[in-house]
Amino acid sequence: MRPASADRHRLTASTGLAALGLDALASCAYGPESIVLALSVAGAAGIGLTVPVTLVIVGLLAVLVICYRQVIAAYPDGGGAYTVARDNLGRRAGLVAAASLVVDYVLNVAVSVAAGVAALTSAFPVLLPWTVELCLAVLLLVTAVNLRGVVTGGRLFALPALVFVGSLVVLIVVGLFRGGPIAPLPPTDPVITPQTVGILLVLAAFANGCSALTGVEAIANATPSFRAPGRVRARRAEAGLGLVLGTLLIGLAVLVEMFHAGPVTDRTLLSLLAEGSIGTGPLYVVVQLATVVLLGLAANTSFGGLPVLAARLAADGALPHVFGLRGDRQVYRASIVVLAVLSGALLLFSAGQVAVLVPLFAIGVFVGFSLCQAGMLRHWWTLRGPRWRSQAALSVLGVTLTGAAAIVLTAEKFTAGAWLIVLVIPLLVLLFVAVRRSYARIGQVLEVDQCPQPPRPTASVVVVPVVGISRLAEESLSAALSMGDGTVAVHVVLGEESEDRAAADSLQDRWQEWRPDVPLVLLPAVDERGRPSRVLGPAIAHYLRSVAEPAGERVLLLVGEVAPDHWWQQALFNRRGAVVARYAERHTDAVVCRLRFRLLPRRHSEPAHTSTQNRTLVPQQTV
Amino acid sequence: MRPASADRHRLTASTGLAALGLDALASCAYGPESIVLALSVAGAAGIGLTVPVTLVIVGLLAVLVICYRQVIAAYPDGGGAYTVARDNLGRRAGLVAAASLVVDYVLNVAVSVAAGVAALTSAFPVLLPWTVELCLAVLLLVTAVNLRGVVTGGRLFALPALVFVGSLVVLIVVGLFRGGPIAPLPPTDPVITPQTVGILLVLAAFANGCSALTGVEAIANATPSFRAPGRVRARRAEAGLGLVLGTLLIGLAVLVEMFHAGPVTDRTLLSLLAEGSIGTGPLYVVVQLATVVLLGLAANTSFGGLPVLAARLAADGALPHVFGLRGDRQVYRASIVVLAVLSGALLLFSAGQVAVLVPLFAIGVFVGFSLCQAGMLRHWWTLRGPRWRSQAALSVLGVTLTGAAAIVLTAEKFTAGAWLIVLVIPLLVLLFVAVRRSYARIGQVLEVDQCPQPPRPTASVVVVPVVGISRLAEESLSAALSMGDGTVAVHVVLGEESEDRAAADSLQDRWQEWRPDVPLVLLPAVDERGRPSRVLGPAIAHYLRSVAEPAGERVLLLVGEVAPDHWWQQALFNRRGAVVARYAERHTDAVVCRLRFRLLPRRHSEPAHTSTQNRTLVPQQTV
């Protein structure tokens, strides 16, 4: 059992349905519209096919939901298509599924945000010029909410989801009861190249309508985000999602045929149906705003799903380990930031136009669906449990339908942007493989699978760069004497002019007065090739190497720096210590130690004298 | 004597005149225009006063040049108004002069660049919409040239200066010979509120014309940039500058009266005089382009002068020491970057309009002039050498004239932006004083003026965070054993879930198998207040403090990190080592040591096996 403190941040069935199912629910706003758009080129006869096509899609939805409930049961640690494909079809197939899911998650954010803003601008055309800015603002908001932890999202988004579903139900029931639009709807756009009803048209409508199915896999991928017992709660959320989504899709399709609704420029189909069913009064505004909010928030599905997938890939060594790190509030910060940046770039690139993004969208989704169901087919075949024939038959149906949809979509939309996805998925797979190979090599060199030799001490020498005699030098040399078998102070003489030499001579004189019992070595300032220079790093690095080489001793560089007591004092100190430390880290094998000397008066001494007389001014080279 | 290698980067009298005097020479393009603009409100009677006003200004120029030649002789280490005022009138007066000079340098860059682009757009009106972009491009170019060393500027700019001066001389001589314009000039702009000639009008014209005198102090401030003997070369450059500038100003004033030239929208006065004297043929284009190039390059004066002043302020502790650091090529990088950023901001703010910037410009200049000459007056009084009466009389004249100009300008232009300068100069002085006070305090705490106690070794303990058993741990612990009197390995247990605990238990088991002779301490991951957390820094910082407190030992934190062998591999490593090191540096007194483990196979061992089999994959928490 997990302790309550961590569990508090996890999802229940209902908050999980809201947080992870938003994408699927919100697709009510663009799925039916996509079907109508495809069918409308065949006029009223085409529109008349809306209900049959929707029924097929809802049938497919049922298959997918049942399939994913089985996936949740079989893989309670989440991972969805990736895990299923990897475990049943091999690592490569798993990585292809993962790549398609990554693409899908990123595009889902972009499409949802763009569609949300499109719904807003169709209600308030005055906002049309600010489309891209609105998209980026919504994206920023969703990202910020998710960086504060996924449960905040779940609770925060439950109310809008409820309002959206509720207002759609009211809209559908009132419309069915009325039996026709309350007033004539605006005229539909003229069809430029009218077509007849045929198998290609129906296939295109089916493929378009499948965009309503995106997101049903998110719950299965994010099972570990659920509160215990996670498996039960996730299955319940998945079933609830299927039920609600299917009902809404069928209801909207019936209304479309009843109202003879078709595409209208700058208006969404949903806004037309609302206008026909409940008029353009206050209720209409509620429906529109609920749609806007929900579409904007639908992007949240990806923020729930992608980090879990990325963490799984990181655990398998296919993505950098940073994607597997959770911060406080159980948040995968790296994934969230990368997701926000990539989808922001897509929104900028597409200028926030849904029509540009949708052709890119569905391909990755259906590749993932197909691979997942092919994996499940293999799973049933391997297990051959009591009901394996019916389970396998469902999977065969799923593979056939989603595979056909993927092929139709790719062929139809190839020149409209699908080529990008056809390019990106293999590139992502190559990236995963390259990362895995690098980790394998690193693991080998680090001997992580063996017991390395036990550590052994060696002789060590500490090199301390000094710029003057002060308490900073005292403190640095004290630390150095405590650390090594030998200590050397070095001073780099900058420049060859007489004043530079005089300063060095004066330092040597004061050093002898001070008697720190540590030798002081003056180094000429030279660059990497031994030419005179005015930078410190190469001179000190050269000295460190010369100390290390003959004796084979371990060399330590100790850099003392003054730690300012206020942030603004940072500007008073040149960053030479940091520069030298960084140079030595990059160009030598020395262990680089940094001592921060805090600006506190010496304890047990005379109270500090607060005059600002000339002599106590810190000399220019010292800090 | 300075060695040749550094001297090669320094200026001769002629390259110094070109590099540091450009601002003054280039003011020929806007100084006479400012006079005519002020006088034109009184019609032809006003324009008729151009030559007398110019003669007064040239007289003032002569006074200033003689005065600054004396400054160079008295202060061969440069510093100009700042040094003179500080040494003779006290530190505060010096800082006021310095603040006015800083303002002047920044504004000079902005005004020169804007005027250069204005000359360009007056010749090619098609470029008018790109004014701001052109300004920023010119600024970037000048900055880049100066970051490559001031002598590059000197040589590079000698030719355009020669072409500019030469073409002005041709223009003036041809015009005087001709006795009138070659063809009627475009009609002058109508005067909106005509005025009569009076003392206020003449004062305004004088104040406006004083913008032609900006920059004559730059050579005196930058004396150390000259090749030895710097004093002689700088005095020669100053005299040359006065001679050339005075001649050009008088010649142009005579032409103005002869041609009855007045202000014309979108045309510079210089382009009108050129048109009248030599027509609009190829020679006209040469004059215009030379003006454009020279005005653009005039900004260079500030890039020669400000860094020397800033370095002087830094040496006095009034500016952060970073302004006193010279990199390779003898360049003061910090000053150049700050100057570019501030003047870029001014150009953006003013949208590249000279008219917006000029009211801000001259006040700082004349405050500096006045303070410098007041300082010299005191200097002559203190010295009372053989010719002190005539020297003092000159200084009195200078103080009177420049002081009057400063007062007239401030009063006239206060609402047009001069209030900003009246605000900024005291703020800069306050900044200087605050910086000086901070350095005084730091110097006191560091005991830079005393001989601090000699360094003493103490007992030390090295804390090594480990995430797994590997060659990285072996190497880190070997280094730690070489460094301290005691070594402790610590492992932070992230999270309270069962898999986290299992991982920690497994690490402890493997540790006992490994027998590294170092104790392993498991630390719970807690935040600053002791609450469960998922970050490493606070847990380790808390442990470091608990080790240090009772025994009073010196505590070292040794962070081992894998150094990737390619830059792109950086992404494969989470930056936890760096995060822990930075947290410990900020929140504890421990010396933080970082060991970079290079990814090389163990020497003298079996050749590496390049399989990518599962078991050699580096585990997720290790790197």
Token digits for B263? 């202000």
CA B5 from chain center: how many Å? 25
Q: How far apart are CA A129 and CA A142, in angstroms?
A: 22
Phi, psi values for residue B563, rounded to 5°: -95, 115
Q: Is A4 on the interface with B (CB under 8 A)?
A: no
Look up residue B69 and give its amino acid: R
Over the stretch B7-53, which tens digit does the pLDDT of each residue have? Answer: 666 788 888 887 778 788 888 888 888 888 888 888 888 888 999 99
3-state secondary structure B194-229: CCCCCHHHHHHHHHHHHHHHCCCCHHHHCHHHECCC
Q: Which of B353, B194, B180, B167 is nearest to B266 (CA)?
A: B353
Token digits for B86? 């500080």
- Given a contact cutoff of 8 angstroms between Cβ atoms, the answer to whether B572 and A435 are in contact is yes
Q: Is B436 on the interface with A (CB under 8 A)?
A: yes
Question: Is the ipTM beyond the 0.85 threshold?
Answer: no
Phi, psi values for residue A366, rounded to 5°: -75, -30
The residues spanned by each domain of chain B are 13-440, 460-603
Question: Which residues of chain B make contact with A478, given a CB cutoff of 8 A?
Answer: 455-458, 554
Q: How far apart are CA A94 and CA A371, in angstroms?
A: 8
- Find out if CATH 3.40.50.620 is the number for domain B460-603: yes
3-state secondary structure of A598: strand
Dihedral angle of Cα B278, B282, B285, B289, to the nearest 10 degrees: -120
3-state secondary structure of B14: helix
The pLDDT value recorded for residue A611 is 38
Q: How many helices (H) and strands (E) does chain A have?
A: 23, 5
Q: Is the pLDDT of residue B99 over 90?
A: yes
DSSP state of A496: S
- DSSP H or E stretch at residue B593: strand B591-598
- The A residues from 165 to 184 touching B (CB cutoff 8 Å) are none
Q: Is B619 on the interface with A (CB under 8 A)?
A: yes
Q: Is the pLDDT of residue B272 over 50?
A: yes
Over the stretch B53-98, which tens digit does the pLDDT of each residue have? Answer: 999 889 888 888 888 888 888 888 775 788 888 888 888 888 998 9
3-state secondary structure of B182: coil
- Given a contact cutoff of 8 angstroms between Cβ atoms, the answer to whether B38 and B204 are in contact is yes
Burial B333-364 (b: 16+ CB within 10 A, else e): bbbbebbbebbbebbeebebbbebbbbbbbbb
Q: How far apart are CA B114 and CA A128, in angstroms?
A: 38
- Residues 6 or more apart whose CB falls under 8 angstroms from that of B487 comprise B461, B462, B464, B477, B480, B481, B518
- Residues 6 or more apart whose CB falls under 8 angstroms from that of B597 comprise B471, B472, B475, B476, B560, B561, B562, B563
pTM of the model: 0.70
Token digits for B259? 């041609």
Could you give the strand order of the β-sheet that contains B520-524, starting from the edge strand earlier in sequence? A520-524, A486-493, A460-465, A554-563, A591-598, B591-598, B554-563, B460-465, B486-493, B520-524
Any bridge partners for residue A461, and if so which?
Answer: A486, A555
Nearest to A444 among B444, B455, B616 (CB): B616
Determine which of A450, A593, A610 to mutate to test the interface with B (most B C-beta atoms within 10 Å). A593
Phi, psi values for residue B263, rounded to 5°: -70, 135
Q: Is A9 on the interface with B (CB under 8 A)?
A: no
Higher per-residue confidence, B446 vs B1 = B446
3-state secondary structure of B486: strand
Q: How many helices (H) and strands (E) does chain B have?
A: 23, 5
B480: nearest CA in chain A? A457
- The A residues from 304 to 363 touching B (CB cutoff 8 Å) are 314-315, 317, 320-322, 324-328, 330
Q: Which of B157, B140, B324, B96 is nearest to B224 (CA)?
A: B324
- Given a contact cutoff of 8 angstroms between Cβ atoms, the answer to whether A35 and A50 are in contact is yes
**CA B4-B8-B12 angle, 5° bins:** 115
The pLDDT value recorded for residue B1 is 39
Over the stretch B102-143, which tens digit does the pLDDT of each residue have? Answer: 998 898 899 888 888 888 887 887 888 888 999 999 899 888
**CA A569-A570-A574 angle, 5° bins:** 120
Query: In this structure, are strands B591-598 and A591-598 parallel, antiparallel, or unpaired?
Result: antiparallel
Q: Is B442 on the interface with A (CB under 8 A)?
A: yes
- Given a contact cutoff of 8 angstroms between Cβ atoms, the answer to whether B253 and B61 are in contact is no
How many Cβ atoms are within 10 Å of B189's Cβ, its own excluded? Answer: 13
Mean pLDDT by 10 residues, chain A (623 residues): 56 80 83 85 86 90 85 77 86 90 89 86 82 91 80 64 88 90 84 78 79 81 80 90 94 91 83 86 83 80 83 88 76 89 92 77 80 86 84 83 80 78 92 91 80 83 88 88 88 78 86 87 84 83 83 84 78 81 87 84 47 47 46
A182 vs A44, A287, A473, B97, CA distance in Å? Answer: 20, 16, 87, 80
A618: nearest CA in chain B? B443
The pLDDT value recorded for residue B328 is 64
Q: Is B623 on the interface with A (CB under 8 A)?
A: yes
Question: DSSP string spanning B425-465?
Answer: HHHHHHHHHHHHHHHHHHHHHHTTTS-PPPP----EEEEEE
- DSSP H or E stretch at residue A563: strand A554-563
Q: Which of A296, A350, A269, A364 is nearest to A112 (CA)?
A: A296
Q: Which of A504, A546, A470, A102 is nearest to B454 (CA)?
A: A470
Q: Which of A165, A164, A145, A147 is nearest to A155 (CA)?
A: A145
Q: How far apart are CA B164 and CA B119, in angstroms?
A: 13
3-state secondary structure of B589: coil
- DSSP H or E stretch at residue A489: strand A486-493
Q: How far apart are CA A211 and CA A361, in angstroms?
A: 8
Superfamily (CATH) of domain A460-601: HUPs (3.40.50.620)
Nearest to B484 among A443, A483, A612 (CB): A483
Q: How far apart are CA A484 and CA B193, in angstroms?
A: 83
End-to-end CA distance of chain A, in Å? 55
Chain B closest-CA separation from residue A537 CA (Å):
12
Any bridge partners for residue A597, and if so which?
Answer: A562
Over the stretch B511-536, which tens digit does the pLDDT of each residue have? Answer: 888 888 889 998 888 888 877 777 78
- The A residues from 528 to 547 touching B (CB cutoff 8 Å) are 532-535
Over the stretch B171-225, which tens digit does the pLDDT of each residue have? Answer: 999 999 988 888 888 888 887 777 787 887 887 788 778 778 887 877 887 788 7
Determine which of B322, B441, B555 to mutate to test the interface with A (most A C-beta atoms within 10 Å). B441
Query: In this structure, are strands A460-465 and A486-493 parallel, antiparallel, or unpaired?
Result: parallel
Q: How far apart are CA B543 and CA B550, in angstroms?
A: 12
Q: Is B578 on the interface with A (CB under 8 A)?
A: no
Q: Is the pLDDT of residue B294 over 70?
A: yes
Place of tokens 């949740």: A72
Residues B84, B85, B87, B92, CA torsion sign: negative
Superfamily (CATH) of domain B13-440: Amino acid/polyamine transporter I (1.20.1740.10)
Q: Is B593 on the interface with A (CB under 8 A)?
A: yes
Nearest to A454 among B315, B449, B516 (CB): B516
The pLDDT value recorded for residue A551 is 64
Size of interface A-B (CB pairs under 8 A): 307
Higher per-residue confidence, A456 vs B610 = A456
CATH code for the structural domain at A11-440: 1.20.1740.10
Question: Which residues of chain A make contact with B481, given a CB cutoff of 8 A?
Answer: 455-457
- Given a contact cutoff of 8 angstroms between Cβ atoms, the answer to whether B578 and B614 are in contact is no
Q: Is B443 on the interface with A (CB under 8 A)?
A: yes
A564-568: long-range contacts (C-beta < 8 A, 24 or more apart)? A564/A599, A565/A598, A565/A599, A565/A600
Q: How far apart are CA A367 and CA B527, in angstroms?
A: 44
- Cβ–Cβ of A446/B471 closer than 8 Å? yes
- DSSP H or E stretch at residue B7: helix B4-7
- DSSP H or E stretch at residue B70: helix B50-74
